[in-house]
A and B are shown apart, each in its own frame.
Chain A
């Protein structure tokens, strides 16, 4: 389960498939990040930011009423309580600190649901860094509250109308910006995807989720859960939860976006329905046609609406250590309302996919315990949810 840091390979997946012009920037990032993530001074600064600005550790909540309804012991790792409302901030603040150390003149980022955009805007404001966020126009419309938040935090919004006008197109545009300004710009990638060292770097910064959850479970329940579940788009919150639990005897379940059906183009279940290929700098599973053209995806949740997946997840799927399944739009919506009405928590649509996985696990394993990575809060989804409540 370890990686070869020189090449960034996870089994046969990963790598660094980028234009030559980005190779020096990625090498610099790899050298700086591997040095600073082992540097006590840098880590002290990072951890202080997590504690006093992000609000870590986030709570572990025992969901008693919903657990009873679902027939088991349900625990929620509450990343929705982190500053800006999702796990994305763990990575954004860590990388923004790296960008400052590297002397970057500006930071660019992509965003789907807007959570990574808001987190990056916030971290850049906090550190006084110039920030531009690329976001697909379709996503800007369906996640309008986050667009407003980014404006308020001083980020420049760069709408992307090309391609599918969602997360994938936003990453393409951010990469084009970076290819144009490779020496002055820091690309603050938000998921565990992309060329090496990003999948490794994002995992390292998100692993705080799994480390805290593991310790909190031991303190509160006196044991580890039987299963841990997280949603998987690019897969940053999932790898953050799973990585510290890989060596434990725990069932690990990733839940992809099943959209409206299993037909190509109607979902974003990359591991479930995809095949290996190269997109955005790494070799992983992709939703593609028989000619290697990337396919459009659909999910009610903008954050999971992406035709690729992090290379480490591809490896964890292939090795069998993690099981990947999918939840449809309707299943995710029903789980969202169930959590809201039993526990008084409005989860993000993304995180609601993980709840579906937990509900299924408990149906199959009644009386067992399950830990859910509740990756974010659902305020951003209000416009989608309006009128849908049962």
Chain B
């Protein structure tokens, strides 16, 4: 839950703690709202959990999250129904990160959205189609409620932009491990770790690496070069197969 420091600050301090944080990603309302709620509750031992809001046109996502989003939307899931579910759990032990494309947020209306997110204990927002230059309005609303607006960086981000984004990011800096969509394949070795070192050197908040993380071996390799990893598509596949998300996440710990 967010402390009086504000959600973003609390998230930053938890991610800075010892060890490599493993941040599970769940598609909101997938495979059903009930199973999503159970998974959220079961994973609440994590420092943080990222919840994806399904969108009809997820251009930064690969096949797995496209499909989970489609299934959730078909069942009538919305940003509103996901937040209602989170509130009904009466508090989750993890810091909550909400990932959403911009349009569902815009459609909800920032004036109503941010107080609602704060009431749900959301610490940070990740908006994959909102680059820094377009983020003024949402950023201002978020800050008012202590919610961090996370900046994403990628291996093709220039040093100059890395520094600008690392300074502007709140809650954490999202280091996308590769050029591609979620669930893709990470290149190996120094190319990735060197990139993460550069991100970390230029980022004010902690750094989480994401996109394509699916094995304990990867977590071991990336761990020393970031504060934690986000596990998305691999975990959604586990949930789709009806397996235990907690056991899967535990198995990733180095």
Interface size range on B against A: 35 or more
B57's contact among A20, A21, A24, A294, by CB below 8 Å, is which?
A: A294
User: How far apart are the CA atoms of A270 and B60 in the complex, in Å?
Assistant: 24
Q: Does B84 contact A (CB under 8 A)?
A: no
B134 & A17 in contact (Cβ 8 Å cutoff): yes
A179 & B59 in contact (Cβ 8 Å cutoff): yes
Contact with B along A274-298 (1 / 0, CB 8 A): 0001111100001010111111000
A180 & B108 in contact (Cβ 8 Å cutoff): no
User: How far apart are the CA atoms of A281 and B131 in the complex, in Å?
Assistant: 10
- In the complex, what's the smallest C-beta–C-beta distance from A305 to chain B, in angstroms? 15
B157 & A290 in contact (Cβ 8 Å cutoff): no
B59 & A294 in contact (Cβ 8 Å cutoff): no
Residues of A within 8 A of B156 (CB): 21, 24, 182-183
Q: Does B176 contact A (CB under 8 A)?
A: yes
Residues of A within 8 A of B25 (CB): none
Q: Does A243 contact B (CB under 8 A)?
A: no
Q: Does B3 contact A (CB under 8 A)?
A: no
- In the complex, what's the smallest C-beta–C-beta distance from A179 to chain B, in angstroms? 6
Residues of B within 8 A of A16 (CB): 131, 133-134
A19 & B56 in contact (Cβ 8 Å cutoff): no
B131's contact among A20, A277, A286, by CB below 8 Å, is which?
A: A20
Mark out the residues of chain A between 14 and 60 whose CB falls within 8 Å of any chain B CB in the assembled complex: 15-21, 23-24
User: How far apart are the CA atoms of A20 and B83 in the complex, in Å?
Assistant: 27
Residues of B within 8 A of A273 (CB): none
Mark out the residues of chain B between 95 and 125 whose CB falls within 8 Å of any chain A CB in the assembled complex: 101-108
* Chain A: CB-nearest residue to B153: A20
A17 & B57 in contact (Cβ 8 Å cutoff): no
Residues of B within 8 A of A64 (CB): none
Residues of B within 8 A of A65 (CB): none
B152 & A19 in contact (Cβ 8 Å cutoff): yes
A179 & B103 in contact (Cβ 8 Å cutoff): no
Contact with B along A164-185 (1 / 0, CB 8 A): 0000100010011001111100
Residues of A within 8 A of B108 (CB): 291-292
Q: Does B44 contact A (CB under 8 A)?
A: no
User: How far apart are the CA atoms of A281 and B55 in the complex, in Å?
Assistant: 14
Contacts A180-B184, A291-B80, A292-B103 given; indicate if A20 touches B56 (C-beta within 8 A). no
User: How far apart are the CA atoms of A292 and B100 in the complex, in Å?
Assistant: 11
* Chain A: CB-nearest residue to B130: A17
- In the complex, what's the smallest C-beta–C-beta distance from B189 to chain A, in angstroms? 20
Mark out the residues of chain B between 161 and 178 whose CB falls within 8 Å of any chain A CB in the assembled complex: 161, 165, 176
Contacts A277-B103, A278-B106, A280-B59 given; indicate if A20 touches B157 (C-beta within 8 A). yes
A277 & B179 in contact (Cβ 8 Å cutoff): no
Q: Does B215 contact A (CB under 8 A)?
A: no
- In the complex, what's the smallest C-beta–C-beta distance from B85 to chain A, in angstroms? 15
User: How far apart are the CA atoms of A294 and B55 in the complex, in Å?
Assistant: 8
B128 & A19 in contact (Cβ 8 Å cutoff): yes
B105 & A292 in contact (Cβ 8 Å cutoff): yes
Q: Does B66 contact A (CB under 8 A)?
A: yes
A293 & B73 in contact (Cβ 8 Å cutoff): yes
Interface size range on A against B: 20 to 34
Q: Does A163 contact B (CB under 8 A)?
A: yes
Contact with A along B124-143 (1 / 0, CB 8 A): 00001111111000000000
Residues of B within 8 A of A20 (CB): 131-132, 151-154, 157, 165, 176
Residues of A within 8 A of B62 (CB): 176
Contacts A16-B131, A20-B131, A20-B153 given; indicate if A278 touches B181 (C-beta within 8 A). no
A291 & B59 in contact (Cβ 8 Å cutoff): no
Q: Does A367 contact B (CB under 8 A)?
A: no
A278 & B161 in contact (Cβ 8 Å cutoff): no
A179's contact among B78, B104, B180, by CB below 8 Å, is which?
A: B180
Q: Does A366 contact B (CB under 8 A)?
A: no
Q: Does B158 contact A (CB under 8 A)?
A: yes
Q: Does A162 contact B (CB under 8 A)?
A: yes
* Chain A: CB-nearest residue to B133: A16
- In the complex, what's the smallest C-beta–C-beta distance from A20 to chain B, in angstroms? 5
Residues of B within 8 A of A290 (CB): 107
Q: Does B79 contact A (CB under 8 A)?
A: yes
Residues of A within 8 A of B161 (CB): 23-24
B131 & A23 in contact (Cβ 8 Å cutoff): yes
B57 & A176 in contact (Cβ 8 Å cutoff): no
User: How far apart are the CA atoms of A18 and B165 in the complex, in Å?
Assistant: 15
B129 & A17 in contact (Cβ 8 Å cutoff): yes
- In the complex, what's the smallest C-beta–C-beta distance from A203 to chain B, in angstroms? 21
User: How far apart are the CA atoms of A355 and B6 in the complex, in Å?
Assistant: 59
- In the complex, what's the smallest C-beta–C-beta distance from A195 to chain B, in angstroms? 9
Residues of B within 8 A of A278 (CB): 101-103, 106, 129
- In the complex, what's the smallest C-beta–C-beta distance from B231 to chain A, in angstroms? 20
A293 & B56 in contact (Cβ 8 Å cutoff): yes
B57 & A163 in contact (Cβ 8 Å cutoff): yes
User: How far apart are the CA atoms of A18 and B134 in the complex, in Å?
Assistant: 9
A21's contact among B55, B103, B132, B154, by CB below 8 Å, is which?
A: B154
- In the complex, what's the smallest C-beta–C-beta distance from B81 to chain A, in angstroms? 9
Residues of A within 8 A of B101 (CB): 278
User: How far apart are the CA atoms of A179 and B128 in the complex, in Å?
Assistant: 12
Residues of B within 8 A of A279 (CB): 57, 103
B66 & A293 in contact (Cβ 8 Å cutoff): no
A277 & B106 in contact (Cβ 8 Å cutoff): yes
- In the complex, what's the smallest C-beta–C-beta distance from A5 to chain B, in angstroms? 14
* Chain A: CB-nearest residue to B108: A292
Query: Could you list some 13 contacts between A and B, CB below 8 A?
Result: A7-B133, A16-B131, A21-B152, A23-B161, A163-B57, A179-B179, A183-B179, A278-B106, A279-B57, A288-B103, A292-B79, A293-B73, A294-B103
Q: Which residues of B pack against A, CB within 8 Å?
A: 55-60, 62, 66, 73, 78-80, 101-108, 128-134, 151-154, 156-158, 161, 165, 176, 179-181, 184
In order of increasing CB-CB distance, the 6 nearest A-B pairs are A292-B107, A292-B104, A21-B154, A180-B180, A291-B78, A292-B103
